């Protein structure tokens, strides 16, 4: 039993380092602020993820690659919806994954330097993960602010180092479909 308690304590300390748990005044573990922030981001994104589901499924089916929907959460991006490629070799980003803003096509769209409205998509190759390329399109609100990023990702063997050549049109179409389904494409204040 002592070994199990030791492992549980080590796990709790590791979670504490990442802000997922914290200690109260008596030293007991409790939910951490990072977990609370992730929960808030997930709750806020649930309606968007729900309305995006048909567009994401169509995108996955059209491209044959894995697709994701990300929203910004502080200095990170969180995957709020993901569908995996039917291929055996595929990229897997689980729903709830928290990733950096400074790497990957979706991170670039959701980062501190948002793309101009004229920028319809961004591609990267091996920026976040070796052997993986992605192309993402911004999901914008009626005022033009980027509220999410929709992505296609896969192994470079299929996507090539320039996945935008093959998938940009489908990713942009999916982003527009998500905007429409979420009612984001109406006039400001509508």
pLDDT digits (tens, 9 = 90+) for 71-108: 999 999 999 999 999 999 999 999 999 999 999 999 99
Radius of gyration (C-alpha) of the chain in whole angstroms = 18
Q: Decide if 151 contacts 159 (C-beta within 8 A).
A: no
**Spatial strand order in the sheet of 66-73:** 98-100, 76-83, 66-73, 146-155, 132-140, 122-125
Residues 103 and 129 in one domain: yes
Number of domains observed in the structure of the chain = 2
Same domain (yes/no): 24, 61: no
Residues 9 and 83 reside in one and the same domain:
no
Cβ 168 vs Cβ 135: under 8 Å: yes
Residue 13 in domain: yes
User: What pLDDT score does 39 carry?
Assistant: 60
Q: What is the pTM of this model?
A: 0.75
Contact in structure between 110 and 71 (CB atoms under 8 Å): yes
Range of the domain at 23: 2-31
Same domain, 95 and 163: yes
Query: What are 28-80's pLDDT values in tens digits?
Result: 888 776 665 566 555 555 589 999 999 999 999 999 999 999 999 999 999 99
Handedness of CA 98, 104, 107, 113 (dihedral sign): positive
Q: What is the CATH number for 62?
A: 3.30.450.40
* Residue 89 sits in the same domain as residue 154: yes
The answer on 87 and 25 residing in a single domain is: no
> Is 39 inside a domain boundary?
no
C-beta atoms surrounding 1 within 10 Å: 5
Distance CA 100, CA 92 (A): 16
Distances (CA, A) of 23 to 12, 45, 178: 10, 28, 40
- Same structural domain, 95 and 142: yes
Could you report the per-residue pLDDT of 126-169, keeping only the tens digit for each? 999 999 999 999 999 988 899 999 999 999 999 999 999 999 99
CA atoms within 13 A on the CB side of 64: 8
> Is residue 189 one of the residues assigned to a domain?
no
């Amino acid at each position: 039993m002592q070994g199990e308690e030791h492992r549980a304590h080590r796990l709790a300390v590791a979670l504490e380092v990442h802000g997922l748990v914290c200690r109260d005044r008596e030293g007991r573990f409790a939910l951490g602020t990072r977990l609370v922030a992730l929960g808030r981001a997930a709750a806020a994104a649930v309606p968007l993820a729900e309305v995006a589901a048909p567009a994401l499924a169509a995108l996955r089916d059209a491209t044959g690659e894995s697709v994701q929907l990300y929203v910004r959460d502080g200095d990170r991006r969180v995957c709020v919806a993901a569908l995996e490629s039917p291929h055996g070799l595929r990229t897997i980003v689980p729903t709830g994954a928290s990733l950096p803003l400074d790497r990957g096509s979706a991170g670039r769209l959701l980062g501190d330097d948002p793309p101009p409205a004229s920028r319809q998509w961004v591609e990267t190759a091996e920026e976040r993960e070796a052997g993986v390329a992605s192309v993402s399109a911004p999901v914008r609100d009626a005022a033009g602010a980027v509220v999410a990023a929709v992505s296609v990702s896969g192994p470079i063997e299929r996507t090539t180092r320039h996945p935008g050549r093959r998938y940009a049109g489908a990713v942009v179409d999916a982003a527009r479909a998500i905007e429409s389904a979420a009612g984001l494409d109406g006039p400001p204040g509508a």
